[in-house]
Structure 1
Amino acid sequence: MDLRTFIRDIPDFPEKGIIFRDITPLLKDKEAFKHAIDMLAEKLSEIDFDLIVAPEARGFIFGGALSYKLNKGFIPVRKPGKLPYEVISEKYTLEYGEAELQMHVDSINKGQKVIIFDDVLATGGTAKALKKLVEKAGGEVVAMSFLIELSYLNPRDILKDENIISLIIL
Structure 2
Amino acid sequence: MHKYPANARRHYERLKRFPEGLLVMGDALCSFNPTYAQGMTVASLEGLALRDALRAPATSTPLWRRYFRAAARAVDLPWSLVTGGDSSYPESNWSQPLAARLTGRYFTMVQRTAVHDGAVFAMFIKVQNLVEPPAAFFKPAFVLRVLRVARQQLPQPPPAGAVARAT
TM-score tier (shorter) = under 0.3
Larger radius of gyration: 2
So what's the TM-score if we normalise by structure 2?
A: 0.23
Structure with more of its chain in strand, by fraction = 1
More helix by share: 2
TM score, norm. by length of structure 1: 0.23
